[in-house]
Amino acid sequence: MALGNFIPSQQDLKIKNVFNTKWKLFCSKGYADKYGLPATPAELIANHKIVGIMNLDGRPVAHFQMTNTHTGESILYKMPKHLTINNQIHILPLIKSNEFICPGSEEMNPDLKAEDIVTVLPDYYVLEMKFYLIFHPHARDLKIKLFSDFLERCLIKEL
């Protein structure tokens, strides 16, 4: 059994979606005081330094899609190339530098809920990440079933 954020190419595996998280954009209050906050996605792209992210294969994401959580409307933007990261561990120090807006998930990084961190364009998200439990097609062991049920309850509780 494995927990992953992509569907493997092996077709005979059993796969179950157990957790989804929407990545938003965050900055520090210091950044907001220094540079202001954008009022629209277009203003964000034109006037702010946004940290980019990488694909699972290590290549920078070329575009990101900003989706309005209320209307479902999506806008595709070219990913800025100021700085690109491949791990959420780097987000908090970059935000606290007061120089960048960073994408992240509050569910995956609870430090983004701190009082000194601001959600940028809170009505939009830039990425939806899905997590899957992946099973061998012949795995029927009760221990695996109990563990997967436990893991799913833990993930749902975090929401």
* Surface-to-core class of residue 157, CB atoms within 10 Å of its CB (0-12 exposed, 13-18 middle, 19+ buried): exposed
Whether the pTM exceeds 0.75: the reply is: yes
**pLDDT in tens for each of the 159 residues of the chain?**
777 777 777 878 888 888 888 999 999 999 999 999 999 999 998 999 999 888 777 888 888 889 999 999 999 988 777 788 888 888 999 999 999 999 999 988 889 999 999 999 999 999 888 888 887 776 677 887 788 788 778 876 654
The structural domains of the chain, with segments of one domain joined by +, span: 2-158
Alpha carbon 25 to its chain's center? 9
Contact 159, 107 (CB under 8 A): yes
| Domain 2-158 = CATH 3.40.50.970 | no
Strands 124-125 and 2-4: unpaired
Tokens of 63: 């575009």
